[in-house]
Amino acid sequence: MNEQANNWGTERMDGPSYRPRRLRSNAIWRDALADVTLKPAQLIYPMFVRLGKDLRRPVASMPEVDQWSPDRLVERVTELMGQGLQQIMLFGVVDQDEKDAVGSVAWDAERSPVIAAMQAIRQSGIGPDQLVIHADLCFCEYTDHGHCGALTNEGSWGGSCGGGCGEGVKSEKLKVKSGGSAKPQAAGTRAGQSRGGNMWGGVDNDVTLGMLAKQAVALVRGGADVVAPSGMMDGMVGAIREALDSAPDGNGNGFSQVPIMSYAIKYASSMYGPFRDAGEGAPGHGDRKGYQMDYRRSDEWAIELALDESEGADIVMVKPAGTYLDVISQVRQATALPLAAYHVSGEYSMIHAAAERGWLDLQASAIETTLAIRRAGADLVLTYFAPRLLGWMKEGAL
Ligand SMILES: [Zn+2]
C-alpha cells in the first residue's frame, strides 16, 4: 500500500483493464515500438560560404553556425562526412559592393561563392556518390535591395543607399508610383507600407524567372547535384526545369537528370530572423509578404503543392518546419513526392538560447524537435543541428 497516499485520506480505486503503460514500462518495448526514426542520409546541413581563404566567421545569432571560405568549408564537410553527413545545402554570402539590382554575382562562375565552394569540394575528391550538394537558388543574398528577384518599376529605387542607410532614409529615396489598380497592403508597421501602394511586394515575377533559369544552369555547371529554388516566384519550377533540360550541356538532354527541390510551401515567417544575419540578405526595405505565403491561410499550401507538382518538382519542401507541423502532415497526406522540411534559423536559435540559460536541455529538445518534424511526415530534414544530431547518433543517443 502507498502509505503516503493513505495519509492524505485517498483510496486506491479499481483501475482500467487496458493499460497503455504496460508497454512503456520497459526500454526494450519502447525502442521496439518507436517507429519514428532518423538516419544520417535524411539530414541536409545548410552551410554558408563566402569567398576568401582560411575564413571561419561565427554567426552571432546562430550558435555553432559559421560562414566559411571554400577551403575551410571543404575541411568542415570532410570532418562531418566522418560523422555520417551525406547532404549539404549551400548559401552564398557576398560583400555589399558585390551586390547589384539583379544579383548578377549569383550566376557568375568567377564571383559566386557557392560555385567556388562546389568546385573546391569536387576538386578535393569528394564525389556526388559521397556527398549530395544542394544549391539554394535565390537572389536575396546577392541583390543590393535584399529582395528575392528584380524589383518592379514600382518597387525600384530612386538611388542607391550604398548599404549603410536605415530603413526610414531608404523609403524617402523611393520613387513611388502611386495610384493604379495596385491594392494597398494590409496595414504594416514599416514606413513604406503605411503609404499604401504595392511597392514592397514589388518583385517582378517573370523577369525573376529568367534570372532563376540563368542561375540554375550556372549552379549545375558549377557542380550542384540538386537546385533548390527558394524565392516563391510563381512558375519558378517550370522555368528552371525548362532551362536545365534545354541547356547546351550534357548528352543532348541538357541537365535533365538534375532534380529540383522546390521550397514549394514557404511562409513569410519571423523565424528567419537569425538567417539574415548568417546570409547577410535582409531586405533593405519592406518585407517578403508580397511573395512568401501568409501563415493565416490554412489551405493555400494545396495550391502551391499542385502547381509545383505540375511543373515537375522532384522534392517539395515546407518551410519553416517546427512551427508548421500541421502543414507538413497535410502535405504528406496529399502528395507522394518526397517531402523535405526546413527547421529554420529562429527555431534553431530559440532552442540554443534556452539551453544556454539552462531552461532546456539542448540534446533532448533538439532530438525531440527533429523527430517531431519526421513524425509529421518529412522524409528529409534541413537543420543546423545536423552536426550535433550526427554526433548523438554515433553515441547511440538516437
Ligand atoms: Zn530569397
Q: What is the pTM of this model?
A: 0.87
Distance 55 CA to ligand 1 centre (A): 24
> Which pLDDT score, from 0 to 100, does residue 201 have?
57
The pLDDT value given to residue 198:
47
3-state percent helix, strand, coil for the chain, nearest multiple of 5: 40, 15, 45
**Distance of alpha carbon 229 from alpha carbon 240, whole angstroms:** 9
Q: State percent of the chain over pLDDT 70.
A: 87
Q: What does the pLDDT look like over 210-247, one tens digit per residue?
A: 999 999 999 999 999 999 999 999 999 999 999 999 99
- Is 53 a catalytic site residue? no
Q: Using CA atoms, how far apart are residues 346 and 384, in angstroms rounded to an integer?
A: 11
User: Residue 69 is placed in which grid cell?
Assistant: 571560405
CA angle, 43 as apex, 53 and 227 as ends, to 5°? Answer: 65
- pLDDT tens per residue across all 398 residues of the chain: 566 677 888 899 999 999 999 999 999 999 999 999 999 999 999 999 999 999 999 999 999 999 999 999 999 999 999 999 999 999 999 999 999 999 999 999 999 999 999 999 999 999 999 999 999 999 999 999 999 999 987 654 333 322 322 222 233 223 333 333 333 333 333 333 333 334 445 899 999 999 999 999 999 999 999 999 999 999 999 999 999 999 998 778 899 999 999 999 999 999 998 988 788 777 877 788 888 999 999 999 999 999 999 999 999 999 999 999 999 999 999 999 999 999 999 999 999 999 999 999 999 999 999 999 999 999 999 999 999 999 999 999 98
Q: How far is the CA of 121 from the centre of ligand 1 (A)?
A: 24
What DSSP element (H or E) covers 33? helix 27-33
Closest CA to 135 of 219, 27, 198, 26: 219
Helix, strand, or coil (residue 316): strand
What is the domain partition of the chain in residue ranges? Answer: 36-150+203-395, 152-202
How far is ligand 1, taken at its centre, from the CA of residue 137, in Å? 8
Predicted pLDDT at 250:
74
- Residue 290: the pLDDT is 85
Q: Which of 170, 266, 289, 394 is flagged as catalytic?
A: 266
Query: Hey, how many other C-beta atoms are within 10 angstroms of the C-beta on 104?
Result: 18
Q: What is the dihedral of CA 103, 105, 106, 112, to 10 degrees?
A: -150
pLDDT recorded at residue 283: 80
Query: Which set of grid coordinates corresponds to residue 383?
Result: 537543420
Identify the helix (H) or strand (E) that includes residue 239: helix 236-245
Query: Which of these is catalytic: 99, 170, 183, 319?
Result: 319
Q: From the CA of 299, how far away is ligand 1's center (Å)?
A: 23
Residue 88: alpha-carbon gap to chain centroid? 12
Domain 36-150+203-395 architecture:
Alpha-Beta Barrel (3.20)
- Give distance in angstroms: CA of 392 to centre of ligand 1: 32
Q: How far is the CA of 292 from the centre of ligand 1 (A)?
A: 10
Q: What residues have a C-beta under 5 A from ligand 1, the ion?
A: 138, 140, 148, 231
SS3 267: strand
C-alpha 393 – ligand 1 centre gap (Å): 32
Q: Give backbone dihedrals phi and psi of 213, rounded to 5 degrees, phi first.
A: -60, -45
What pLDDT is attached to residue 154?
61
Instruction: Give 124's strand partners.
Output: none
